[in-house]
Structure 1
Amino acid sequence: MTISIEQAWELAKQRFAAVGVDAEAALRQMDRLPISMHCWQGDDVAGFEQAQGELTGGIQATGNYPGKARNATELRADLDQALALIPGPKRLNLHAIYLESDTPVERNRIEPRHFSNWVEWAKNHQMGLDFNPTCFSHPLSADGFTLTHHDEKIRRFWIEHCQASRRISAYFGEQLGTPSVMNIWIPDGMKDTPVDRLGPRRRLLEALDEVIAEKLNPAHHIDAVESKLFGIGAESYTAGSNEFYLGYATSRQTALCLDAGHFHPTEVISDKISSAMLYVPRLLLHVSRPVRWDSDHVVLLDDETQAIASEIIRHDLFDRVHIGLDFFDASINRIAAWVIGTRNMKKALLRALLEPTDKLRQLELDGDYTARLALLEEQKSLPWQAVWEMYCLRNDVPADAGWLKTVRAYEQQILSQR
């Protein structure tokens, strides 16, 4: 006998109610948790500058799967396909190199008008936009330094680029009615052991202070800074380390970005969330999947993704944590990569919402670690999939791998013609 999604949902509600979880409330909460999808999965981080060169800054997109977007119109069409297969609220995260202009524009001269088509597209989708200055893949970043550069003229260029980016971010927030989170990441560092570790960091501190000096409406714009342990070509020294940016975000009260791939392989960002939240007003999470290094593989529904989601839900951080994705796999269908990764992040959030957290917390306070472990493990076998399928049904998206047929059809009709 085949059980329908509706029948499975009714049974699942009863199973979760038996352990004190309201599955209907979990679905309502899902609608409070947008995931910011990253535009750069669709074109391998190439962007649309007319003079765009090869990727630099320790960034690599590997693979040559056919059909990548060649311009903003194609990228938006590909995003439309992906968005239609993912349930619940979404956002889009843009880099500065995804501007649209008939003539070349220097990065320190970018303006809101260069992103007006993105804003109109976002309005049509009733979704917010986030933003990033692009401090890599540029002649003035060729030696591996931007905001830390010892040459004041080059450093000034990147300061102006970040200042211009903040104004674009604020424009997004004002136009779309939801604050844009603008994240600053720089590749600055050295391949071999430096003599002066302090100088670049002092210059970075001063440059960032100048970047964020202009007061912008927090209802429109949120500043974030992102650390990294190392990068390709900067293995021995990264100016923007975790310690540097944690100190900066704490002292300046900006948001702190934690990227799942930017730490030692034995470190996980899920364990850092609760500590950082004691000191910074907001967190931006870049959920990715490192494989031995910051390789930005497609997000899986694995232990760390689940742990990240659980930290957000268990501590009621809905309004202080912004969830973004950051991977770029050019070895598989790029639209499928978006769908797989984003659906997995949403599944992890739903599973966390279906946990009897209050009961588990009380067991922990009572010192009953046996019951805590038993309940945590039994929880994994409860029918969360039936709740997920109902969420998909209510959002008019495929509840199972049937979405892949849509992607394959689009690949045959559109992507194969590029």
Structure 2
Amino acid sequence: MSYDSAKAAFADLGVDTEAALNRLADIPISMHCWQGDDVVGFEQKTGSSGGGIQATGNHPGRARTPDELRADLEFSYSMIPGKHRLNLHACYLDTDQNPDRDEIEFSHFAPWVDWAKDQGLGLDFNPTFFAHAKADDNLTLSHPDQGIRDFWIEHGKRSRDIAAQMGAALGTPCVNNIWVPDGYKDTPVDRMAPRQRLENSLDAMMATPQDKAQVLDAVESKLFGIGVEACTVGSHEFYMGYAIRKGTLLCLDMGHFHPTENVADKLSSVALSVDEILLHVSRPMRWDSDHVILLDDAILQMAQELVSADLLGRTHIGLDFFDATISRTAAWVIGTRNMQKALLRALLAPWGGLKSAENNLDYTSRLVVTEEIKDLPYATVWAEFCDRMGVASGQALVSDLHRYQASVAGRG
């Protein structure tokens, strides 16, 4: 089918494909750096791999240096239509120095900022509260030892300052997302004390006001992780309340809830209480297993909620998966494009008519239309989008992904 024919098919339902394509081109996806090297990072100091962070597999081609990671990212972005962002963890510093986490500075990340400028990308940031000797107890900001808490508070302060400088240098707010692995493997007798310590530590980290034109603070919950099966200090309820009281963004990670929960359903409820939302889009096959996202019901529902509830302007979309059983660059490309495909489908829905039917309690018409539109030629509109953006689609994409993977497969 030609694009003109597809355009006419959508127009019959009152949908403007040109408006949808223009809107999609303006939606940045924050692609996560840690897919490219299995969450290893580039610190010279080494620590544990605790906190429930684990990449599975040993596919050839893992990036070993910042330059290799940036080369992989450049290729991946070239396969993804539109202009996007990079989500950088604090353990991905690029420096010959050897700072500990409580000593990091903006200069340690300056090469990333220079590269982002050259690539026309925005940057987001995350303090790294895992894979460190002072996180081996799976307690950081909530640790009963004041000295350990102070270490991590200082790390958080420095990360926040670095994020603000990134935002200022690039002219776009840097989302600084705070997630800690804190919790208990077995049932604690006192849940209040660690949560009070966590709240006090977060308050200390964010005591200095920052310009929201430069940095946006976000807090991220989790249901459980490896080693914290019995209790996660930073639960959804904890951070929901914190975000409302303190005015931060609330991060909803699709892998951080019970597998039967519909995370898309949370968006409209959360949006009534917080100004902005951060999404970490993932695919939890069992728990927080962080598989590469598919164009499945969970992703489609998430995109539909963002568009239907008019939340795109208040939501920062980031990805969070790490799969080392397949080509890491292909994982970035597939996952990001699937998020864009889901958004395109949502933008191509006749929301006016559907909402009118629902408000009139005409559930029959609602069901008929939502089922009929599944047969519309979305693939043709997506191919048009890729063509306009100068990126491959279909079999040409497969060839390009295989060609690049072959070029990096020899990395030791």
Q: Does residue 251 in structure 1 map to residue 245 in structure 2? A: yes
TM-score norm. by structure 2 comes to 0.99
Q: What are the Cα deviations for residues 350-396 of structure 1, in whole angstroms up to 9, with x where unaligned?
A: 00000000110000011100000110011111011111001000110
> Does structure 1 conserve the Cα–Cα contact (< 8 Å) formed by 2:182 and 2:233?
yes
Partner of 1:149: 143
RMSD of aligned alpha carbons? 0.9
Q: Distance in 2 between matches of 1:308 and 1:89?
A: 21
163, 176, 184: which one pairs with 1:182? 176
50, 54, 57: which one pairs with 1:56? 50
Q: Does residue 409 in structure 1 map to residue 403 in structure 2? A: yes
Q: Secondary structure at the match of 2:369?
A: helix
Shift of 1:155: 0.1
For these two proteins, the number of residue pairs brought into alignment is 412
Which letter maps to 1:388? W
Q: Distance in 2 between matches of 1:410 and 1:91?
A: 21
> Does structure 2 conserve the Cα–Cα contact (< 8 Å) formed by 1:99 and 1:114?
yes
Partner of 1:331: 325
> Does structure 1 conserve the Cα–Cα contact (< 8 Å) formed by 2:17 and 2:348?
yes
Structure 2 spans left out of the alignment, 5+ residues:
none
259, 282, 306: which one pairs with 1:265? 259
Residues 225-244 of structure 1: matches in 2 within 5 Å?
A: 225-244=219-238
> For residues 211 and 417 of structure 1, do their structure 2 counterparts lie closer, same or farther at Cα, with a shift above 3 Å needed?
closer
Partner of 1:281: 275
Which letter maps to 2:38? D
What percentage of residue pairs aligned between the two structures are identical?
56
Q: What are the Cα deviations for residues 167-219 of structure 1, in whole angstroms up to 9, with x where unaligned?
A: 11111110111100010000000000001100000001111111111111100
Q: Secondary structure at the match of 1:131?
A: strand
Q: Distance in 1 between matches of 2:407 and 2:76?
A: 15
Which letter maps to 2:159? S
Q: What are the Cα deviations for residues 118-170 of structure 1, in whole angstroms up to 9, with x where unaligned?
A: 11111111110000000000000011100001100100000000100001111
> Does structure 2 conserve the Cα–Cα contact (< 8 Å) formed by 1:46 and 1:52?
no
Partner of 1:379: 373
Partner of 1:87: 81
Shift of 1:88: 1.2
> For residues 413 and 309 of structure 1, do their structure 2 counterparts lie closer, same or farther at Cα, with a shift above 3 Å needed?
same
Which letter maps to 1:186? V
Residues 126-205 of structure 1: matches in 2 within 5 Å?
A: 126-205=120-199
Partner of 2:291: 297
Q: Distance in 1 between matches of 2:260 and 2:295?
A: 19
Q: Distance in 1 between matches of 2:360 and 2:138?
A: 53
Q: Distance in 2 between matches of 1:65 and 1:244?
A: 38
> For residues 251 and 67 of structure 1, do their structure 2 counterparts lie closer, same or farther at Cα, with a shift above 3 Å needed?
same
Partner of 1:45: 39
Shift of 1:416: 2.2
Q: Distance in 2 between matches of 1:258 and 1:417?
A: 35
Q: Distance in 2 between matches of 1:162 and 1:83?
A: 29
Which letter maps to 1:295? S
Partner of 2:209: 215
Shift of 1:399: 2.1
Q: Does residue 112 in structure 1 map to residue 106 in structure 2? A: yes
> Does structure 1 conserve the Cα–Cα contact (< 8 Å) formed by 2:48 and 2:133?
no
Which letter maps to 1:151? D
86, 90, 115: which one pairs with 1:96? 90
Q: Distance in 2 between matches of 1:404 and 1:103?
A: 40
Partner of 2:388: 394
Partner of 1:345: 339
> Does structure 2 conserve the Cα–Cα contact (< 8 Å) formed by 1:390 and 1:399?
no
Shift of 1:53: 3.4
Q: Does residue 124 in structure 1 map to residue 148 in structure 2? A: no
Structure 1 spans left out of the alignment, 5+ residues:
none
